[in-house]
């Protein structure tokens, strides 16, 4: 949550920051701001306000040469999204300026202990950090003052700091929140996400927790120095930039979400390529070994990734025959259940930065439990800190509503469980290829779904019903519809409806049924009949082998275990077109952020 970006180099810094903020806006978009050093005026100028980056740009004064700047896009935690609470924040005596992503847990204690004579202008925890630096700078060198501050802060932070007395330097620090240093000969860029480095860096370094970085413009170029809190130099890992500008654009689609929905067949094919050689699937033998010796598996995740975990549970139990439980990360972190004799943990996270999951990881690490992270970001915190990690190679997912990452997670976990299974019940290559074609067919037919949505979905509420893995898809479908259209939606086990919730069904309530599994298709159809009798407006999504003449969306067949990859596509389209009809901000729905780095 929140995106930060900083630049010191030969380019116009404010351009780098504004374009970076656009790319980071998916992380939070309540308010935003920028501070740059104007060479003409020899002063630091700040623009910040409520609302989006494009709004900030409208009033921006572009007539300043500048080569040093920091920026922020905010998802409010402490204090409402107002101009005063927007970042950057300045220390009371004006010397230091800061942007922050994260949450400082002991900000109140710090205020009382060190800063009782400071007048604060915002309600943020961030203002405490910048004033604490100022406090220590009265008796210490700047680097010592920042490191001393870090040793006191509790919580999560990625910080970029400007010192108005050193206009050739940019300072940074990190703990738990992501921060990368982008390196190029003509300048250094720091950002929360690799996307903001595209075009400005040849290589990047993911910063380690509890570290301090100082970037300096010298006569010989731009140099950086990375140390831990006590000032000891640390080893860094330089990674080559492999993202290109095209991968982070909309490619002509009206929204990122639609683009990402349409990319899903190619995500499946890319994963097949990445995890196979000459048509034979392969995953790191150490992971296979570790999972084979597990008595049971615990999958931990949040939101859409948790729904992918539910599908994976089915795979682990049917294909690998390992008992598997799925946990909501925010629950597991503080209410750990009985774990079994030799448990193995799988953390699923698109971003690899979700704070609820990180809290679980810390607990599990302390207890020396083995862990695998399945993620879209190979360099993310959760990928680096787990014992093993598997990447889903979905490419950058920019819409807040997750679509292609879900399909990527399910595909990778299917391949993993398939390799763990002795039986090899089907030809995985052939079935995944069929699934990709079936996904393509419904994507190509999306105008039909658009019309269906126009006719059947209303504004106030909706139900998705299904059984078995279809029920899991219903949960994901419901989350997608509510998060971008704001229509109250429930994903329900079809057979459970009659035990109370059917009381909500009345004339014209939309009910979408998902039917893909032969052994329970008749049961779901009976439940569907029960809601039709009570006046519901229904949409039926089925696979060909279990379809009826009157079904609204009939999907091309693939093996029954792979149907979740296909049946989720029309539900994503239903969510997309419902939100479009209602004029919602599809890629940036209200109150949400892509990367949830607060607990």
86 is a contact residue toward ligand AGP (CB under 6 A): no
The tally of CA atoms less than 13 A away on the side-chain side of residue 199 is: 13
Binding mask 113-142 for ligand AGP (x = CB under 6 A): ------------------------------
Lay out the site mask for ligand AGP across 325-364 (x = CB under 6 A, - = otherwise): ------------------------xxx--x--x-------
Tell me the closest approach of the beta carbon of residue 273 to ligand AGP, in angstroms: 23
The single residue of 2, 262, 360, 474 carrying the catalytic annotation is: 2
- Within residues 392-431, the interface with ligand AGP by CB under 6 A covers 400-402
Smallest separation, CB 303 to ligand AGP (Å):
2
126/375 with CB nearer ligand AGP: 375
Q: List 203's β-bridge partners, or say none.
A: 183, 240
Q: End-to-end distance of the chain based on CA atoms, in angstroms?
A: 11
Main-chain dihedrals φ then ψ at residue 240, nearest 5 degrees: -75, 140
Residue placing its CB nearer to ligand AGP in the complex, 312 or 536: 312
Number of residues near ligand AGP (by CB under 6 A): 14
Longest Cα separation, the chain: 80
Q: Are 311 and 564 in contact (CB under 8 A)?
A: yes
Q: Measured at the alpha carbon of residue 65, what is the angle toward residues 62 and 71, in degrees to the nearest 5?
A: 65
Q: Is 2 a catalytic residue?
A: yes
Tokens of residue 438, six digits: 């079936």
> Would you state the structure tokens that stand for residue 594, as one six-digit string?
């892509």
x/- track of binding to ligand AGP for residues 262-301 (CB under 6 A): ----------------------------------------
Q: What are the angstrom distances between the C-alpha of 191 and each of 20, 32, 185, 224, 229?
A: 8, 15, 17, 15, 20
Nearest partner of 374 among 287, 316, 432, 293, judged by Cα: 287
Show contacts with ligand AGP in window 32-51 (CB under 6 A).
none
Q: Between 433 and 472, how does the x/- string for binding to ligand AGP read (CB under 6 A)?
A: ----------------------------------------
573 CB-near residues (< 8 Å, 6+ apart)? 261, 442, 443, 446, 449, 450, 453
CB of 410 vs ligand AGP, minimal distance in Å: 13
CB of 160 to ligand AGP, least distance (A): 23
Exactly one of 33, 303, 370, 408 binds ligand AGP (CB under 6 A); which one? 303
The H-or-E segment that residue 475 falls in is helix 469-485
- What is the C-alpha separation between 149 and 355, in angstroms, rounded? 22
State which residue, 2 or 596, has the beta carbon closest to ligand AGP. Answer: 596
Q: DSSP characters for 69-115?
A: EEEEEE--SSS-S-TTTSSPEE-TTSSEEEEEES-BTTHHHHHHHH-
Q: Which is nearer to ligand AGP, 199 or 491 (CB)?
A: 491
Among the listed residues 23, 313, 480, 594, the single catalytic one is: 594
- Exposure of 326 by Cβ count < 10 A (0-12 exposed, 13-18 middle, 19+ buried)? buried
- Residue in 512, 330, 286 with CA at minimum distance from that of residue 419: 286
Report the SS3 class of residue 396. Answer: coil
The stretches of 241-284 forming alpha helices (DSSP H) are 256-262, 264-274
* SS percent in the chain: helix, strand, coil, step 5: 40, 25, 35
- Least distance CB 411 / ligand AGP (angstroms): 15
Instruction: Please say which residue, 44 or 406, places its beta carbon nearer to ligand AGP.
Output: 406
Which residues lie across from 490 on neighbouring strands? Answer: 463
**Which residue number is nearest to ligand AGP in terms of Cβ?**
303
Catalytic site includes residue 259: no
Give the tokens for residue 366: 């302390």
Residue 127 or 476: the one with the smaller Cβ distance to ligand AGP is: 476
- What tokens were used for 529? 């009949």
The total number of residues shown for the chain amounts to: 599
Query: How far is Cα of residue 515 from the mean position of the Cα atoms in its chain?
Result: 29
Give the separation between CA 527 and CA 493, rounded to whole angstroms: 10
Least distance (Å) between residue 260 CB and ligand AGP: 11
Q: Which is nearer to ligand AGP, 361 or 416 (CB)?
A: 361
Q: How far is it, in rounded angstroms, from Cα 548 to Cα 72?
A: 53
Q: Which is nearer to ligand AGP, 180 or 596 (CB)?
A: 596
Of residues 178 and 303, the one with the C-beta less far from ligand AGP: 303
Q: How far is the CB of 302 from ligand AGP (least distance, A)?
A: 4
Q: Tell which positions 474-493 bind ligand AGP, by CB under 6 A.
A: 483
When binding is defined by CB under 6 A, the residue of 302, 398, 512, 586 that contacts ligand AGP is 302
CB of 483 to ligand AGP, least distance (A): 6
Task: Provide, rounded to whole angstroms, the least separation between the CB of residue 97 and ligand AGP.
Answer: 30
Among 304, 389, 558, 578, binds ligand AGP (CB under 6 A): 304
Q: Which of residues 577-596 bind ligand AGP (CB under 6 A)?
A: 596
Least spacing, CB of residue 585 vs ligand AGP, in Å: 14
- Nearer Cβ to ligand AGP (349/521): 349
Q: Can you give the binding site for ligand AGP, defined by CB under 6 A?
A: 302-305, 349-351, 354, 357, 400-402, 483, 596
Catalytic residues: 2, 594
């Amino acid at each position: 949550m929140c995106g930060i970006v900083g630049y010191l180099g030969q380019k116009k810094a404010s351009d780098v920051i504004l374009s970076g903020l656009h790319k980071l806006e998916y992380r939070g978009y309540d308010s935003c701001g920028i501070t740059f050093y104007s060479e003409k005026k020899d002063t630091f100028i700040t623009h910040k306000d409520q609302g989006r980056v494009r709004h900030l740009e409208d009033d921006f004064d572009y007539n300043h040469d500048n080569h040093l700047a920091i920026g922020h896009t905010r998802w409010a935690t402490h204090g409402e999204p107002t101009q005063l609470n927007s970042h950057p924040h300045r220390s009371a005596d004006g010397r230091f300026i800061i942007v922050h992503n994260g949450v400082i847990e002991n900000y109140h204690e710090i205020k009382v202990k060190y800063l009782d004579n400071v007048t604060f202008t915002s309600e943020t925890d961030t203002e405490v950090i910048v004033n604490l630096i100022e406090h220590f700078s009265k008796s210490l060198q700047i680097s010592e003052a920042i490191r001393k501050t870090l040793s006191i802060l509790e919580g999560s932070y990625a910080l970029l700091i400007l010192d108005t007395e050193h206009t050739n330097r940019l300072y940074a620090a990190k703990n738990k929140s992501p921060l990368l240093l982008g390196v190029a000969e003509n300048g250094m860029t720091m950002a929360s996400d690799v996307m903001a480095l595209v075009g400005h860096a040849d290589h990047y370094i993911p910063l380690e927790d509890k570290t301090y970085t100082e970037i300096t413009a010298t006569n010989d170029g731009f140099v950086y120095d990375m140390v831990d809190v006590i000032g000891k130099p640390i080893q860094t890992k330089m990674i080559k930039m492999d993202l290109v500008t095209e991968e982070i654009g909309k490619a002509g689609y009206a929204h990122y979400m639609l683009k990402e929905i349409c990319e899903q067949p190619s995500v499946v094919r890319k994963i097949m390529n990445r995890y196979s050689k000459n048509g034979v699937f392969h995953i790191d033998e150490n992971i296979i070994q570790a999972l084979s010796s597990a008595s049971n598996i615990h999958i931990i995740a949040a939101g859409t990734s948790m729904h992918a975990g539910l599908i994976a549970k089915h795979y682990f139990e049917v294909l690998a025959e390992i008992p598997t439980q799925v946990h909501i990360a925010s629950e597991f972190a503080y209410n750990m259940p009985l774990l079994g004799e030799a448990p193995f943990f799988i953390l699923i996270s698109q971003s690899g930065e979700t704070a609820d999951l990180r809290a679980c990881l810390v607990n599990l690490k302390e207890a020396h439990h083995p862990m695998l992270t399945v993620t879209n970001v190979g360099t993310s915190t959760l990928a680096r800190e787990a014992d093993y990690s598997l990447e889903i190679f979905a490419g950058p997912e920019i819409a807040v509503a997750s679509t292609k990452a879900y399909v990527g997670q399910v595909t990778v976990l299917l391949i993993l469980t398939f390799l763990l299974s002795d039986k090899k019940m089907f030809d995985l290559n052939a079935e995944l290829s069929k699934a990709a074609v079936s996904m393509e067919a419904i994507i190509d037919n999306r105008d039909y779904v658009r019309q269906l949505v126009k006719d059947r979905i209303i504004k106030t509420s909706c139900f998705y019903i299904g059984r078995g893995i279809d029920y899991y898809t219903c949960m994901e479908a419901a989350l997608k519809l509510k998060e971008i259209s704001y229509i109250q939606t429930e994903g329900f086990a079809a057979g459970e409806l009659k035990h109370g919730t059917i009381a909500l069904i009345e004339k014209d309530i939309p009910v979408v049924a998902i039917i893909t599994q032969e052994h329970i298709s008749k049961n779901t159809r009976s439940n569907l009949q029960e809601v039709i009798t009570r006046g519901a407006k229904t949409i039926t999504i089925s696979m060909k082998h279990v379809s009826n003449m009157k079904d609204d969306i009939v999907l091309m067949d693939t093996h029954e275990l792979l149907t979740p990859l296909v049946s989720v596509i029309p539900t994503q389209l239903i969510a997309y077109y419902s939100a479009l009809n209602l004029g919602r901000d599809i890629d940036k729905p209200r109150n949400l952020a892509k990367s949830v780095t607060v607990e």
